[in-house]
Amino acid sequence: MEVLKIIGGKKLSGTIEIGGAKNSAVALVPAAILSDRVAIKNVPNISDIESLEIILNYLGASFTKNGDELTIESLTMENKPITLEYSKMLRASSYFMGALLGKYKHAEMYFPGGCSIGERPIDLHLSGFEALGATVTNDGDKYIIDADKLIGADIKLKFASVGATINILLASVLAEGKTTIKNAAREPEVGNVIDLLNDMGAKISGKDSDLLVVEGVESLSGGSVKVIPDRIEAGTYIIAGVMNGDNLKINNVIPSHFSSLTDKLLEMGADIKIFDDYVVTNKVDNLKPIKIVTEVYPGFPTDLQQPITSLLTLADGTSIVKELIYENRFQNVPYLIQMGADIEVNGRELKINGPAKLLGCEVITTDLRAGAALILAALSAEGETTIKEIKHVLRGYENIINKLTKVGGEISLEDV
Ligand code: EPZ
């Protein structure tokens, strides 16, 4: 079994290069099948992309990678049911519902996989497809989505769901007539998908707003896009710099995509300098406690709630964290407590009393961002930490061991 071994307390100095956004790339790849030939640049080197490659090859699409550039050709592909095994590989498999429905007016697959951080229903995706004229039948975990025709519709999301927004876009770009999506998700990753679809010939307006308008077109062809920098990866390493940085530079970023994080870190008194496309951080002591409430973009991102919780264990005083997006996103907390943190869990709220002295020990990763949180805590803890179940982390953080080792982190992968 592979585990991560981390010796804490090392200063992190030098430059970390941020890769393409996981949550963009995993949507751009399924979206590509709506066209004939698509190029996607700056694709992150993560196993979620390998999972999507398996699904595309199964469908008969070609997937050629040249460095971080991906070319996807769909002329020879055919519509087949996405198997249970493939559906469960990741949450983003759900995007094949919208893409196959949009392209073939038929999609068959199972409930998607993804981190066990909540129930994560897909009711908003399915009701969006039905609004466009599709019928959805499900037999347990299996979904069959059919439409004689897809007709544009006015859709209002009861929650600004990222996945539902993207899936409805994929199903509506080739529909007849106009579709509007009210209360659409405004995450930058949605905008990245809109850029690709429009480059294929789609007609989508309202990017970055909560009202998207899609004018259906007859066909799509070509298209290329560059994956935007991963704001969650960037935020994770910025937090690492606040905890252990000595002039740690986080490079290739779009600061406006994570201003909700940097605003909070500056409120704590963190030493952060923000430039056009990079950030420099230094560890300082006596950080002030803060209150974090996770919200949809541009609010504080739920994906950085677990990483920042590790930092808050070191602040001078009591911090509060409210997780309003997912109902089960505190699975990192018992392990932080095991390391010496003082945290009370009250439903969807954490009360974090600091500063704690974190001591290395054996911990287990339960989900992607919980794993990131444990790595951050281990980098600060005294002594050695062993992190098990690290597959969760490796699927979503590109080359994390190399990136941290390069800046002085003592972290290694070991077979035990
Ligand atoms: C995307 O998930 C991201 N994943 C998540 O990142 C991220 O946390 C989330 O957006 C919010 O930003 C990918 O992009 C692959 P949602 P998604 O639809 O699309 C409820 C990570 O760590 N909901 O915005 O699944 C749902 O229960 C991952 O990188 C419905 O009720 O998120 C949840 O409470 C984790 N019905 C909330 O919305 C629906 O039909 C957020 O879901 C859909 C969602």
For the chain, give every domain's residue range. Answer: 2-19+229-415, 22-226
Ligand 1 binding pocket includes 231 (Cβ within 6 Å): no
Provide the sign of the torsion angle of the four alpha carbons 378, 362, 304, 250, taken in this order: positive
- Residue 416 pLDDT > 90: no
How confident is residue 238, by pLDDT bands cut at 50, 70 and 90? very high
What distance in angstroms lies between residue 266's CA and the mean position of ligand 1's atoms? 27
Q: Which residues are marked as active site? A: 115
Nearest ligand 1 atom, CA 327: 34
Whether the per-residue pLDDT at 292 is higher than 90: the answer is yes
Percent of the chain at pLDDT above 90? 98
3-state secondary structure of 72: strand
Q: Looking at the predicted structure, is the pLDDT value of residue 383 above 90?
A: yes
Asked whether residue 327 carries a pLDDT value surpassing 90, the answer given is: yes
Mean pLDDT within 327-356: 98
Rounded distance between C-alpha atoms, residue 234 and residue 211, angstroms: 28
What's the pLDDT band for 120 if we cut at 50, 70, 90?
very high
Question: Could you give the 3-state DSSP secondary structure of residue 240?
Answer: helix
**Three-class SS state of 327:** coil
* CB 159 near ligand 1, within 6 Å: yes
Under 8 Å CB-to-CB from 85, ≥6 apart: which residues?
none
Average pLDDT over residues 287-305: 98
Beta-ladder partners of 282:
271
* Residue among 120, 182, 133, 124 at smallest CA distance from 326: 120
Q: Does this chain's domain 2-19+229-415 share its CATH topology with 22-226?
A: yes
Confidence of residue 322 (pLDDT cuts 50, 70, 90): very high
What pLDDT sits at residue 150?
98
Cα(95)–Cα(76) distance, rounded to whole angstroms? 20
The arrangement of secondary structure in 22-226, i.e. its CATH architecture, is Alpha-beta prism (3.65)
What confidence tier does 225 reach under pLDDT thresholds 50, 70, 90?
very high
Architecture, CATH, for domain 2-19+229-415 = Alpha-beta prism (3.65)
Nearest CA residue ID for atom 30, ligand 1? 121
Mean pLDDT over each residue of the chain, to the nearest integer: 97
**Beta carbon of 125 within 6 Å of any ligand 1 atom:** yes
pLDDT at residue 310 greater than cutoff 90: yes
CA of 164 to the centre of ligand 1 (A): 9
Interatomic CA distance for residues 219 and 160, integer angstroms = 28
Return the residue whose CA atom lies nearest to atom 11 of ligand 1: 162
Ligand 1, residue 367: give the atom nearest the CA: 22
- Of all protein residues, the one whose alpha carbon is nearest to atom 7 of ligand 1 is 303
Task: Ligand 1, residue 160: give the atom nearest the CA.
Answer: 24
For residue 166, what are its two tokens?
Answer: 């993207």
The CA angle 9-12-15, to the nearest 5 degrees, is: 165
For position 384, what pLDDT does the model report?
Answer: 98
